[in-house]
Amino acid sequence: MRITDLLKKESIRIGGSASGKTDAIDQMVELMVAGGNIADPEKYKNAVKAREEESTTAIGDGIAIPHAKTDAVKAPGLAAMTLPEGVDYDSPDGEKSDLIFLIAAPNTEDNVHLQVLSRLSTLLMDDDFCDALRGAEDADAFLAVIDKAESEKLEAEEKKEEAAKTAAGKIQIVAVTACPTGIAHTYMAAEALEKAAEKLGYTIKVETNGSGGAKNLLTAEDIAGAEGVIIAADKNVEMARFDGKPVFSTSVSAGINKPEELIGKIMNHEAAVYSAGKKAVSDTAAVSAEKESAAHTLYKHLMNGVSHMLPFVVGGGILIAIAFLLDVAHAGEGFYGSGTLLAKFFKQSGDSAFGFMLPILAGFIAMSIADRPGLAVGFVGGAIAKEGFTWSYLADQVNVGVNGAEPVIELVSAGFLGALLAGFAAGYLTKGLEKACDALPDALEGIKPVLIYPLVGILMISLMMTTVNPVMAAINTGITGFLNGMGTSNLVILGAIVGGMMSIDMGGPINKAAYVFGTAAIATGETGKIIMASVMVGGMVPPIVIALSTTFFKNRWTKRDRQAGLVNYIMGLSFISEGAIPYAAADPGRVLPSCILGSAIAGAISAACRCASPAPHGGFWVIAVISNPLMYAAALLIGSAAGAILLSILKKPVSMDSDMN
């Protein structure tokens, strides 16, 4: 397949004009539609614009390459436009763009077109080629320029492959290029590095981590013989293989625009040596990261934890729901969910999965920040947050063991908010520890990742979390006292408060305070059962808010979000609030207010309709024992719908075919 197979005359506009970036994208999408490649133009346009929100696809020198990979594309295609007056496309060099190519890639496993698109991207690195395109008088001339250059490029690639065979074992520099989408910029950075190396008289091998997977893979022999490594990437790449080599890490745009400078960093021995668990990031890369924004950097670390936690939430939640379904005969009793052997098995399995949820979240956040040494430190920090260990509790247990005293202090979990704190703290503590260990003798290099980092890191995070957890306990005690002081004079307001509290931290101290208050109230009579019903419906709402939003407002969520969202129907109906945690952790500013509002509305309606629950758990599966069940179901539906609508208003449209990162 050649470039001209993807670019049709109908999709080329010579001598166009645009009032701005948005107008240029709109026109380019129209050209792509004219070529017959798009099944859903609006969806495709939204995907292109969502990619631009991540970072501009203008690369400088008057060129922009917007692109999107989505199931709105029927077949791979290209569109092109020349703009003699140029258009402001947020180019990194501040200049207007006058040559724009739009790429449409289908969301399929058949990626044969990606090789063609990468070839176009590398051709655009040639100034003479671009000038010839700008000077084309019509679409036929435009295509002729491309066809001639591509033929020469294919011939050059064959010669390069032959040269690579004879140059085996003589590679001086190895590199990896990668961008989030992996369609254009990955290959442009690789081309720029290869051309710069040839110009400077060096040999280089570049691995591209593109949409079609990693190509031109670096071997152990390649890495061992190289002077150093260049990482020009905007996403994580496998780093362990570069242990002991000088590594210079930067953005993919720097690979495109500053290839000679990057090669100089390696050949002039200015790159730091990478060691296990320690990223070699230069000052230049640090500046680049700051421009990317600290918030985006934190978000990437957070999403690493969330994506690893999600399977534990989904798998454990469904198993617990099955346990309740199998044990419905014991609804309302304290051992509900464990009343039969089979139900107990499912409940135990689900609880075991849930037990790993918060440590996994914290561990992989820390690993994203500090690489492998951060994993153990974050995992332990998350586990301590989950258990709620405090100095007072430990002292109490010592007194129990030594003096035979009765235990006085109970553990209070810090919940997912405590695990978030533990994850980030563990990551940055480990990075600080790595920096402090730089002064140690080289002879100790090998024991740092296996002894010093885990030993000192785990000690530090344990001291921190054991000190922080009492704050959560104080919050829990204060909230419980506040609820007890309210009485039951206004059940609607109380129902709204306890319902909303169930969504604030979803399994943390605030959630548990409301739940304990509700379960304790059951013993006081009918009024207490009304409070318990509000608590339970409030706890069911968060996962259903997520499920409804991902089902009916698809353009607010990625493909991965939508797939995981379906499970939240089951988890919500089963009174498992934790199903919403991955979404709340990823976007707390939008998810938490929406869920809190929905839960408060549901709790208020339930109380107003005098719905009462003698069961402390079970969710919708125990509706047979709840008084006024129809209005209870209505309260759940209304509250969940209100939360889903608010959330979907607050969320911005995204490219629905992208992964959760």
Point out the residues that are catalytic. 67, 179
174, containing H or E segment: strand 173-178
Helix/strand number for the chain, H first, E second:
25, 12
The token pair at 500 is 């909303």
- What Å distances lie between residue 192 and 196, 197, 204, 457, CA to CA? 6, 9, 11, 41
What string of DSSP letters covers 430-470? HHHHHHHGGGS-GGGGGGIIIIIHHHHHHHHHHHHHHHHHH
Residues ≥6 apart with Cβ < 8 Å to 83: 15, 16, 17, 18, 24, 97, 98, 99, 100
176, containing H or E segment: strand 173-178
State how far the Cα of 212 lies from the Cα of 209, in Å rounded to an integer: 8
Residues ≥6 apart with Cβ < 8 Å to 604: 492, 493, 495, 496, 499, 534
472, containing H or E segment: helix 453-486
State how far the Cα of 271 lies from the Cα of 264, in Å rounded to an integer: 9
Residues ≥6 apart with Cβ < 8 Å to 229: 173, 174, 175, 176, 223, 242, 245, 246, 247, 248, 266, 271, 274
Tell me 38's DSSP state.
Answer: B
473, amino acid identity: A
**Strand, helix or coil at 203?**
coil
